[in-house]
Amino acid sequence: MNTLVILAHPDMEHSRVNKRWRQELLQHPDRITVHELYKEYPGWKIDVTKEQKLLEAHDLIIFQFPLYWYSYPPLLKKWLDDVFTHGWAYGSNGTKLRGKKLGLAVSIGDKKENYRPAGSVSFTVDEVIAPFKASAIHVGATALPYFAVFGASFQATDEEIEQSAADYIEYIDRHRLPTPFPAQ
């Protein structure tokens, strides 16, 4: 099962986490394809057929991005609006994403302890990413648990980011394997 990483970062030049993650992903071209939306589409005119073919060719699809205003960067939202079309992704004939696994690799600026009902954010990350999970359900795909690094703006040390890069590959490899049959 080959993996497609849809990477959406508007400012990779100044990135610490996503840049390091990209570097790690690129070490594994045999099993991971990295598709950088802001590099591919500087004019935001998305080639829908090309994107759909790319998705059809992969079973594990990871969306990688920095959390911006508790959401995706805007080109990823446009990409979803354009690419997940009726008759392809959903609707009675829209079955192309059915059975695929969709994951998230998110760099989160704030600290982990703030992503709780009693924390300064007031919501958990699982609550923040509810639109992603609902979208996966809508297209008949499986939403995987998210992978994240917290404190990505300031607190995360170089060592933690190094470790997260290794953990990210492990996350992908774990989900690349076929899901075992549930115990009876």
Ligand X SMILES: Cc1cc2nc3c(=O)[nH]c(=O)nc-3n(C[C@H](O)[C@H](O)[C@H](O)COP(=O)(O)O)c2cc1C
Binding site for ligand X (CB under 6 A): 9, 15-18, 66-70, 107-110, 152-153
Q: Which is nearer to ligand X, 25 or 83 (CB)?
A: 25
Q: Which is nearer to ligand X, 66 or 103 (CB)?
A: 66
CA atoms within 13 A on the CB side of 141: 27
Residues in the chain: 184
Q: Which is nearer to ligand X, 69 or 181 (CB)?
A: 69
What are the tokens at 50? Answer: 């090309």
Q: How far is the CB of 19 from ligand X (least distance, A)?
A: 6
Q: Which is nearer to ligand X, 41 or 70 (CB)?
A: 70
Q: How far is the CB of 15 from ligand X (least distance, A)?
A: 3
How far are the Cα atoms of 64, 76, 96, 124 from residue 36, in angstroms, in the given order? 9, 10, 22, 27
3 state SS of 53: helix
Q: Return d(Cα 151, Cα 143) in angstroms, integer.
A: 24
Q: How far is the CB of 90 from ligand X (least distance, A)?
A: 28
Q: Return d(Cα 134, Cα 128) in angstroms, integer.
A: 12
Q: How far is the CB of 183 from ligand X (least distance, A)?
A: 37
